Amino acid sequence: GNGKVHYLPYYLPCPEIFSMKLQYTEEKLIQLFPQLFYQQPRVLAPKRQDVLTVTPWLAPIIWEGTFNSEILDSAYRPLNLTIGVTAFAIGKYTRFLGRFLESAEKHFMKGYQVNYYIFTDNPETIPDVQLQPGRRFVIVPIKKYPSWQEISVRRMEAINKHIAEVSHREVDYLFCLDIDMVFCNAWGPETLGDIVAAIHPSYFNVPRSQFPYERRSSSAASIPDGEGDFYYGGAVFGGRVKKVYEFTKTCHMTILTDKANGIMAARQEESHLNRHFLSHKPSKVLSPEYLWDDSVPKPPEIRLIRFSIV
């Protein structure tokens, strides 16, 4: 080519990598630090002043306007990550699968490798699904249970077992989502973290005295009056696959403890999830944008709905 030739100076660090003889042209320059052009962040001019954007334990709370997707993609895309999703298509809930996957292919982790793990007690009713390149659909058969309460009790166990046997080798991050929901707008790498919880849409603007925590001291999910941070929804949680394994194992054990004592927590597994996240704080918190319910009036603080109950 006709590009201008440069010689790397001898004083560069790592001489075993950068030899004095190494040369390159501007045309073939490998960009170790790709250029990004974006508005400068201003310390005294936060993008959101109407909502809490960081918890007291310094975990970010993710809202529209608090992150730059281009910067995040430039950091995460080169890592060649695979993101896993678990969803349960049990009994009549198989009817939600098509819409769930169709919307996920439009909005969930676009440009990333994704494995959908669909747990079902009726594999023959699951239709073939056309996915984008780099995305996989895996049916995970599970046994039939007589009641939805039993299904709820067994969900953490099923996810934990699948991570141990299969998905710990296949994915870097894992999100566990309810299937009777639909993606409405982009859900991207801003959601990635060690262990991630989502604020429940019905309780993000009420005092904790009104949270539907399990209050009985006899339950392993008990949270006494006067305690609690947020009320998290059981329909969305995730994180690094190892952390999700540890989380689901702990929740499964506390659920079994209650069952052995003849106790069903107020909100089943959601109660145990909230008990766990009170003692073991999530490293990232998703705003109700990522777990919305259209039956709840949309306040001005919710600028964008990303994932909502059907």
Instruction: Please give the chain's pLDDT, 310 residues, in tens.
Output: 556 655 555 555 555 555 444 454 454 555 666 788 999 999 999 999 999 999 999 999 999 999 999 999 999 999 999 999 999 999 999 999 999 999 999 999 999 999 999 999 999 989 888 899 999 999 999 998 877 777 878 999 999 999 999 999 999 999 999 999 999 999 999 999 999 999 999 999 999 999 999 999 999 999 999 999 999 999 999 999 999 999 999 999 999 999 999 999 999 999 999 999 999 999 999 999 999 998 888 999 999 999 999 8
In this prediction, residue 128 carries a pLDDT of: 82
Measured CA distances, 229 to 192, 194, 203, 280, 305 (Å): 21, 19, 11, 12, 23
Do 123 and 256 share a domain, yes or no? Answer: yes
**Rounded to whole angstroms, how far apart are CA atoms 27 and 230?**
53
Strands 113-120 and 82-89: parallel
Annotated binding-site residue numbers? 88-90, 93, 178-180, 200, 270, 293
Looking at the structure, tell me whether residues 7 and 121 fall in a common domain. no
Which one is catalytic: 64, 190, 214, 270?
270
118 CB-near residues (< 8 Å, 6+ apart): 87, 88, 89, 97, 126, 137, 138, 139, 140, 179
Same domain, 171 and 229: yes
Domain assignment present for residue 56? The answer is: no
pLDDT at residue 32 in the model? 66
Active site residue 270: yes
Give me the phi and psi of 53, to 5 degrees please: -115, -5
In a domain, 39, yes or no: no
- Dist CA 140 CA 129 (whole Å): 15
Predicted confidence at residue 249, as pLDDT, reads 98
Residues 5 and 131 in one domain: no
Binding site as annotated, residues for Mn(2+) = 178, 180
Residue of 137, 139, 138, 141 whose CA lies nearest to 121: 141
User: Do 122 and 248 sit in the same domain of this protein?
Assistant: yes
What distance in Å separates the CA atoms of residue 105 and residue 291, rounded to the nearest whole number?
Answer: 18
- Tracing tokens 């099923």 back to the chain, one arrives at 158
Q: What domain count does the chain have?
A: 2
CATH of the domain at 213: 3.90.550.10
Q: Using only C-alpha atoms, what is the Rg of the chain?
A: 23
- Considering the domain architecture, whether residues 242 and 95 belong to the same structural domain is answered as yes
Instruction: Give the residue from 42, 35, 41, 119 showing the smallest Cα distance to 70.
Output: 35
The confidence score (pLDDT) of residue 20 equals: 45
- The encoded tokens of residue 143 equal 């046994």
Report helix angle 148-165 to 269-279, nearest 10. 50
In this predicted structure, what is the pLDDT of residue 153? 80
**Inside any domain, residue 42:** no
Same domain, 130 and 276: yes
Query: Do 20 and 113 fall within a single domain?
Result: no
Q: Is residue 55 part of a domain?
A: no
Based on the fold, state whether residues 26 and 65 are members of the same structural domain: no
Range of the domain at 17: 1-30
Whether 51 maps to a domain, the answer reads no
Asked if residue 243 belongs to a domain, the reply is yes
Residue 54 domain flag:
no
pTM of the complete model:
0.89
For residues 283 and 54, is the Cβ–Cβ distance under 8 A?
A: no
Q: Is residue 233 part of a domain?
A: yes
